[in-house]
Structure 1
Amino acid sequence: MELKIKPKDKLQGTIKVPGDKSISHRSVMLGALAEGKTEVTGFLTGEDCLNTARAFQKMGVEIEGLGSEEMVIHGVGLNGLQEPESILDLGNSGTSMRLMLGILAGQDFYAVVTGDESLSKRPMARVVEPLGDMGAEIYGRDGGNLAPLTVIGQNLTNQEYQSPVASAQVKSCILLAGLYADGTTTVIEPAKSRDHTERMLEYFGTELNIDGLEVSVIGQPKLKGQKVVVPSDISSASFFLVAALINQQAELILEDVGLNPTRAGILEVLTAMEADYELLDKRLENQEPIADIKVNSSNLQATTIGGAVIPKLIDELPILAVAATQAEGETVIKDAEELRVKETDRISAMVTELRRLGVEVEEREDGMVIPGPQSIKGGCSCRSYDDHRIAMSLAVAGLIAQEEIEITNADCIKTSFPNFVELLKDI
């Protein structure tokens, strides 16, 4: 699909973006491993999360309402999964693969996981190696670094793992594997990464100990099915936040947005950029903070984005690069090497496409430098790199371009935000 975006100088309305991707994945995983029913509302129906659900269906988990925002997962208990008869295809979802490897490592059966061309190039050694230290047997291309990966489930031993990176996927993988180990499994991070897994494990009845950057789980718990309300995804909301901020005449309200403090780094940065936004109706659902966000056109100021905030907004950096083009001064994005091993090399992709749009930007190994404010020329065709966040960031840039832009291979947007184009039209 080719997406054409015309400049628009007035954005108004009240919208609700789809459910949180991270929480949707985890609701299926823990719901499947729990005893009893888990009722999920607000589930993200993007392909990534659906692939997670389909994988558990292949392992004997009954799921009612698959493909809708309301699902019922009939849990089989921690040790109730069955050997799949076919390969578990996780499409484009790195979250699905890395977290599922932790679960599969402790089973008493054989499984093979694979993904699309993009996922098959993404590094898995960061979870395969620590799982191996727990006794897991995982084989694949490049010494077990690349999918397809074969997992031969084993009796796992607990461990204390010092993670070299602040990564929720790495942390979550080890904690999920720790559910199958005797004793206590501990993950120590260099900085705090998003904590959806910890919150949901506790919500489902797992005993956790959290001490600063250390998280410990006690193995062999009994998980109990729960009711899970999935908030709107702040990563998806970020595209509309920035769209409103950089537009000349904008007033938007984004409803029911998840504001988990380990995910809401974009709000910290927007505050530093003097963005005009307000949090309304703050509340808590299944241990996750939620609020409505009212956002208006703003005269943004440049800032430096780096250090401890990076793990809290790693997925939002492409759209923040677009915001930086309209900020007064020089915006520096640094300490973001992780962007190079996402669905695509997001540093290279954003630098290339911003330059194509006439923007001056300096590429650095760990980020980029963008002076502003600058005009976005448009009048060209941009690449998505089959990366949903690149495609949506370019679409937002197109709203303030001087001429129409075209984004090729925009179908990838459906992996996380199936109704993005419709909501864009609504406002």
Structure 2
Amino acid sequence: MEFTLNPDRERMALTLVMGLLVNGRTVLEDFAWASGSEEFARALAEFGLVYEQHGHQLVLDGKGFQYPLPSMLPSGFAEDENLLLWTLSSKDPEHVFTIAEEPDEAGIAKVAALKESLLKYFKLNIEEDSPAKIVFRFAVEEPALKKDSLGNVPFAMRNRLLLRALVRGEYLSFEERSTVHDQWTKMLMYFGVPVRYEGRGMEQLSEFERRLMIAQGKKIERTQFTELSETRVITGREYYVPGDTTEATAFALLATIGNMPKENVVRLLNVDLNSTRAGALTCLKRMGANIENVTRREKFGDVYGDVEIYPLAAGKRLQGRRFSEDTIATAMDEFPLLAVAACYAEGETILRVPKEYRKEMRTKNEFLAENLRKTGVEVGVYDDGLVIRGMETIVNGSDFDGGDSAQAGLALSVLSLALQNDEPVANIEGVERTFPGIVEKLKQVLVAEKAESEG
């Protein structure tokens, strides 16, 4: 059984921004819109991006760094997408933006939320500030760079820093302990932007420095160094946006826990295999899932390929594992899917959330745990994540509710399908908006499984 996934939404947004900054034409091959990406393209059209679909190609005509600024500050997207649009808008510190809403409770709340989000990433020169209206310019000065608890620059901030330096023709450098979601960095390199992106450690030290650090008992840790030099022009190239890793993880999970006959194989075509993004697939492999990368293409500056998932051998189970914050940082969108996998694993699985996500994840994890406990599985919710003790056989569990999280809804849909429930998960509409057609595709796996087993 072969499946083509929806394109990765994060990479699609970055690609459309790159298309704007290119002097000339960028062609996206084997193209399909990701969820919400056509609306994002319309927002970029306000900056001058011209796009047109021709069969299986999307042709982007960019404006380079001389793109015009929109009359209204764009918003209404996910925070990382808003941040890209706002960074483009911050090119000219003399340009005045106005955010205004109706002076009622809803309007005041919306303006306050947008202001809070802007001040999280930018310094602003505010000229008028009232509950329902802000008039401001983006300041030239940058906020102090803050690394997260893992010693990394959060990927949304890293993308913003690189984009801002790019459009302003500035030099930028920083060092991190490791990197999460580096698709934008690799995309810049592929399009010819002068970026140095390299690991640093013992080999960068002189012999004297190495001996001195060893004598002082200091640990020499490997770090990731990023440097961007002034860029005058970016030329167009062909590009391709691979399949969504979250959807791939859903297929891998269902094929593993859904009792597929041993002769069945699920093949996923052109999956995003960037190691800083696809951590969930690695987690499932560590738990014992039979997942194999059958093709690996190092093309367009990154890595993607076909993935095959085989059923577990007779008598085999997933195994509980402890996943650190570093690992989960590369799999935050797939966190609920890993929690469902843990329900089927032998022993205890610990999913530790990076410190920066813990406050927002605590409520989400309480809601997720409430659903998972309907199967009889023991689920403990803590400030730093989840502890789950799996069961050998799960036969009960229904009335699942994805709430307002498409990722949780997708994970619970996989669980419901594995349990062969007839009724859909509540609030499934959110799953369909974010991952169009995914539930019907997952059902095809089970239909094919049943047909083959009955034959």
Do these two structures clear the TM 0.5 threshold for a shared fold by scoring above it?
A: yes
Do 1:55 and 1:90's aligned partners in 2 also have CA atoms closer than 8 Å?
Answer: no
Say which SS state the counterpart of residue 55 (structure 1) adopts: helix
Distance in 2, Cα, partners of 1:314 & 1:69: 31
Do 2:169 and 2:232's aligned partners in 1 also have CA atoms closer than 8 Å?
Answer: no
Distance in 2, Cα, partners of 1:409 & 1:343: 19
**CA offset digits 1:345-401 (Å, max 9, x no partner):** 532332222124443210011210000126262332x33222211111110010122
Greater fraction strand: 1
Q: What is the root-mean-square deviation in Å for CA atoms of aligned residues?
A: 3.5
**CA offset digits 1:269-306 (Å, max 9, x no partner):** 12221211111121122111112111122221010111
Say which SS state the counterpart of residue 407 (structure 1) adopts: coil
Do 2:52 and 2:58's aligned partners in 1 also have CA atoms closer than 8 Å?
Answer: yes
Look up the match of 1:312: 330
Distance in 2, Cα, partners of 1:356 & 1:100: 42
Look up the match of 1:215: 226
The reply to whether residue 398 of structure 1 matches residue 416 of structure 2 is yes
Identify unmatched segments of 5+ residues in structure 2: 101-105, 199-222, 446-455
Deviation of 1:322 after TM superposition, in Å, equals: 0.5
**CA offset digits 1:233-269 (Å, max 9, x no partner):** 1122111111111111152111111111111212321
Look up the match of 2:17: 29
Identify unmatched segments of 5+ residues in structure 1: 1-12
Look up the match of 2:385: 367
Pairs within 5 Å for 1:75-154: 75-84=62-71, 86=72, 88-91=74-77, 93-107=78-92, 109-111=95-97, 128-132=119-123, 136-137=124-125, 152-154=137-139
Look up the match of 1:8: none
User: How many residue pairs end up in the alignment?
Assistant: 404
Distance in 1, Cα, partners of 2:338 & 2:99: 33
**CA offset digits 1:299-346 (Å, max 9, x no partner):** 210101113212211111110101110011100001344555779953
Look up the match of 2:438: 420
Distance in 1, Cα, partners of 2:50 & 2:404: 32
Say which SS state the counterpart of residue 253 (structure 2) adopts: helix
Pick which of 211-220 and 310-319 moved more.
211-220
User: Given residue 226 of structure 1, which amino acid in structure 2 is its aligned partner?
Assistant: R
Do 2:362 and 2:382's aligned partners in 1 also have CA atoms closer than 8 Å?
Answer: no
Q: 1:159 to 1:111 in 2, by over 3 A?
A: closer
Deviation of 1:87 after TM superposition, in Å, equals: 5.2
Q: 1:39 to 1:196 in 2, by over 3 A?
A: same
Which residue of 261, 270, 273 corresponds with 1:259?
Answer: 273
Q: 1:188 to 1:102 in 2, by over 3 A?
A: farther
Task: Considering Cα pairs closer than 8 Å and 6+ residues apart, tell me whether 1 or 2 has the greater RCO.
Answer: 1
Greater fraction helix: 2
The reply to whether residue 201 of structure 1 matches residue 219 of structure 2 is no
Deviation of 1:71 after TM superposition, in Å, equals: 1.8
Distance in 2, Cα, partners of 1:394 & 1:182: 46
Q: 1:47 to 1:19 in 2, by over 3 A?
A: closer
Q: 1:36 to 1:157 in 2, by over 3 A?
A: farther
Look up the match of 1:248: 259
Distance in 1, Cα, partners of 2:327 & 2:37: 26
User: Given residue 288 of structure 2, which amino acid in structure 1 is its aligned partner?
Assistant: E
Pick the structure with greater CA Rg.
2
Deviation of 1:137 after TM superposition, in Å, equals: 4.3
Do 1:62 and 1:74's aligned partners in 2 also have CA atoms closer than 8 Å?
Answer: yes
Do 2:26 and 2:60's aligned partners in 1 also have CA atoms closer than 8 Å?
Answer: yes
Q: 1:376 to 1:294 in 2, by over 3 A?
A: same
